Amino acid sequence: MIQSMIKYRTLPLKAQTAIAMFAIGGTFAVASTVLFEPFHSPVRFLILLTLAVATANRKFRLYRDSSISFLTSVTLLSILVAGTTEAILIAICGVGIQTYLPSRKLVLYRLVFNAGMIALTVKASCWIYTFSMMHPEAGIPNQLVAVIAASSVYYLGNSTSVSLMIALTTGARLLPLWNTHFAASAPSFLMAGLLSMLASEVTTKLFMSPMLLLILPVVVGSYYFTLRLVESRGC
């Protein structure tokens, strides 16, 4: 922790200020949400939290250098099926795992920035999703618009914040940096949102028809059996 504080003090003053602002904003987002937003289901929260922790560093490759972060999908799924409080806490735990692993070195100021940034981003995504779902009687089309809006806000908040911090730390120009490293990842966030929407529909069907839960062990078992078979042949 002492080394982290020393490294923090070596950062440019603008970067230190930005980290402090994200910390304050994230703390306010978490506190206001926990105090005024209901906590719906502890069981559902624990399931989603376990899923977020287990998949925090997992990515699914789409094509070439484009991939989907499972944590993004789990966070967006939390926004859809849980609530703002659950979604923020799950996202913070997820980015905490990403910050610590795989290096197994805890850089405190990075954790503070990531936690504050993701809290503000998820809070904004939840707000835009709730606002877009003001007419739920419209059905799937309305939800699709809401998911796209939430995914877009999540993408912009995440990519812009990280780009800003890198620019303040290295002295690079913000817009060229964002355009080079983050602009092309927009479809991945949109795909993650659509996958979370599909997962929410499946989850709803599972709760409506509990017998469908019997399919899950078969699917999971088949997946791991196929994975082990491919790995053994590769050896």
Q: How far apart are CA 166 and CA 129, in angstroms?
A: 28
Residue with the larger pLDDT of the pair 18 and 67? 18
> What confidence score (pLDDT) does residue 2 get?
45
Q: Which residues of 141-177 are buried (b: 16+ CB within 10 A; e: fewer)?
A: eebeebbbbbbbbbbbbbbebbbbbbbbeeeeeeeeb
Considering its fold, how many domains does the chain have in total?
A: 1
Q: Give the model confidence (pLDDT) of 103-130 as tens digits.
A: 777 788 889 999 999 999 999 999 999 9
pTM, to two decimals: 0.81
CATH classification at residue 198: 1.10.1760.20
Specify burial of residue 48 (Cβ count, 10 A radius: 0-12, 13-18, 19+). buried
Residue 91 is part of which domain span? Answer: 2-234
